[in-house]
Chain A
Amino acid sequence: MITFHDVKKDFGKLEVLKKINLKINQGGIFAILGPNGSGKTTLIKSILGMVIPQSGAIKIHDQNILKQWKYRQKIDYLPQIANFPANLKVIELINMIKDIRCGNCREQELIQLFRISPFLDKKLGHLSGGTKQRVNLVLAFMFDSPLIILDEPTSGLDPVALITLKELIIKEKKAGKTIIITSHIMSFVEELSDEIVFILDGNIHFQGTISDLKEQTKEDYFEYAIASILKENYV
C-alpha cells in the first residue's frame, strides 16, 4: 500500500505537485492520467525517491521512504525515456543490472517474450526506439517485484509487442502484484486498469473506477468522460 500525505513539490517557481493526498491499495492496476506536464512523472519519481518532495510524506507499507533505499528492492520501474549508455551491448547492460541488483531474475523468459535475442550482441546506441523500449521492458520486469511502476510503457511499441505487454501486465496482476501505469493511450488504460487517478496541474481531480467516472460525468465513453473533467477545470 502506498500513501501520499500532503506531498508538495516545486521546481523553482513551477509548482508541480500541490499537496497531493493519495492512497494506492495493494493488488490491481492503477492508471495515473493527466495532460502533459500535469505532474504524473514527478508523482511516480517521488515514489522511487528520485524526486525529493519539499514537504509531506510518502509511505509504502507504513514506512516513510524519505532517504531510504532498501525498499526499492521491491519495486520494478520502467522509465519514460529509455536512454541507455550507447556503447554497451544489450546483454552487457542486462548482466550489469542483474549483477548490481542480485536477486532472482527471469531475464531469459522476457528476452524470448519480447523477441530481443537477435539484438543481444548489438550496441544500445544502434537500436531503434521500439527495440530500446523492449529492452527497457525486459529490464523493468526482470526482478519479479511486488510493485511495478510503468511510465508510458506503450511508447514506440509495435502492435505485437503491445499485445505481449498487455498480456504480461494482466498475468502480473493475477499474481497479486500492484501495477502503476501512466499512459496517454486511453484504450490501453480503459482495457487494463482497475482504478484511475486523474491529475491536473498538480492536483488530483478524480480517483476511482472507470464506471464511477462515467457515472460522475454522465458520459458513456471513457474518452469523453476524461475530456469532460478537463473542460470543467479549464473553462
Chain B
Amino acid sequence: MYKILKYSFYDLIRSRWSFIYLLFYLLLGIVLLFLNSNLSNAIVTLLNVITVLIPLIGTIFGVMYYYDSKEFTELLLAQPIKRSNIFLGQYFGVAISLSISLIVGLGVPFIYYGLFISDKIFEFLTLIIVGTFLTFIFTAISFFIAISFENKIKGFGVAILVWLLLAVIYDGVFLIFLVYFEQYPLDMFSLGAIMSNPIDLARTLMLLKLDISALLGYTGAVFKKFFGTNFGVILSYSVLIAWTIIPIIGIVCKSNKKDF
C-alpha cells in the first residue's frame, strides 16, 4: 500500500490543481490576517470558508482522481498487489496531499503573523484538525461513490449531490425542524442532528472553541455544557473518526467485489 500511496501522492503534489489549492489558502490566510489584523476574526471567517470548501474540494478531487487513474488502476490490478491496498493507497495519497495543502497554506501566513506568541494557537489547531478530518471524510465518501458507479457522470453527480445534501440542504431542513417544533424541547434532537453530519459537527466544535457560543442562545448554552465536558469532546472526535472509518471500510468492501 505504501508504494501506491507514494506514487499517488507525488502525482498529486506535482499536479497544477494541488498547487492552486495551496495558493488559494495562502492568499486567503494572508488577506484575512492583514485585513482583519486579528487572529480570532480571521479564524472565524476561515471557519465559514472551510466547512463548505473542504468538503467540496475533497469530493471533487476524490472523484476526479479515481476516474482519471482508472487505466492505471487496471494495470495495477494485474500485478501481485492486494486489491484493497491499491484503492487505500490511492485514497490516502489524495487525502494526505489535500491536507498538506491546507496545513501549509494556512499555517505559513498564521505562523508569520505571530501565531506562536498569541493565545489563539489552540483555536488554530482545532481549525486545522477539523479541516483535516473533513478532508479525509469527504475524500473517502467520494472514493466510495466513484467505486460504486462505473459511469463517470453518474458518479460525479451523486458525489456532488451528497456534498450538497450535507453542506447545504441538511442545515435548511434542520432549521425548518427547529422552527416548526419550537414548542418542544429540542436539545437532544439538535445534538443528535449535529452529531450525524460531519460538517455541522466540525462547525459546532469550532464555534464552541472560539467562545462565541453565546451567539447560539439557549441551545448554545446546552451545547457548551455538553461539548465543554471531556465526554462531549471525546464523543465528538469519536464521531468524526467513525465518519472517516466507515466510508474507508466501504471502499475496501466495494473494491473486493468489483469486476474490472
Contacts from A to B (Cβ < 8 Å): 11, 45, 48-52, 67, 69-73, 75, 77, 79, 83-85, 96-97, 99-101, 139
The CA-CA distance from A67 to B82 in the complex, in Å, is: 9
Give the number of chain B interface residues (Cβ < 8 Å): 22
Contacts of A84 in B (CB 8 A): 71-72, 75
Interchain CB contact (< 8 A) of B78 among A52, A72, A85: A72
Contacts of B119 in A (CB 8 A): none
By the criterion CB–CB under 8 Å, are B256 and A50 in contact? no
Contacts of B259 in A (CB 8 A): 11, 45, 50-52
By the criterion CB–CB under 8 Å, are A52 and B3 in contact? no
For the A-B complex with A48-B77, A51-B259, A83-B74 known, give 14 more contacts whose Cβ atoms are closer than 8 Å: A48-B78, A52-B259, A69-B80, A69-B82, A70-B80, A71-B80, A73-B80, A79-B74, A79-B75, A85-B71, A85-B72, A97-B79, A100-B4, A101-B79
B69 at the interface (CB under 8 A from A): yes
Contacts of A83 in B (CB 8 A): 71, 74
* Smallest Cβ-Cβ distance to B14: which chain A residue: A87
By the criterion CB–CB under 8 Å, are A97 and B256 in contact? no
What's the minimum C-beta distance from A172 to chain B, rounded to whole angstroms?
18
Which 7 A-B pairs give the minimum distances between C-beta atoms?
Answer: A83-B71, A72-B80, A73-B80, A77-B78, A50-B260, A51-B259, A85-B72
What's the minimum C-beta distance from A121 to chain B, rounded to whole angstroms?
16
B7 at the interface (CB under 8 A from A): yes
Contacts of A45 in B (CB 8 A): 259-260
The CA-CA distance from A96 to B4 in the complex, in Å, is: 10
* Smallest Cβ-Cβ distance to A46: which chain B residue: B259
Contacts of B77 in A (CB 8 A): 48-50
Contact flag A97-B75 (CB < 8 Å), given A11-B259, A73-B80: yes
* Smallest Cβ-Cβ distance to B77: which chain A residue: A50
By the criterion CB–CB under 8 Å, are A50 and B78 in contact? yes
**Among A75, A84, A85, residue most surrounded by chain B Cβ atoms (within 10 Å):** A85
By the criterion CB–CB under 8 Å, are A72 and B79 in contact? yes
A interface footprint on B53-83 (CB within 8 Å = 1, 0 otherwise) = 0000000000000000101101111111111
Contacts of B7 in A (CB 8 A): 96
The CA-CA distance from A175 to B214 in the complex, in Å, is: 79
Q: List 26 A-B contacts (CB under 8 A).
A: A11-B259, A48-B77, A48-B78, A49-B77, A49-B83, A50-B74, A50-B77, A52-B257, A52-B258, A52-B259, A67-B256, A69-B81, A69-B82, A69-B83, A70-B80, A72-B78, A75-B78, A77-B78, A79-B78, A84-B71, A84-B75, A85-B11, A85-B69, A85-B71, A97-B79, A100-B76
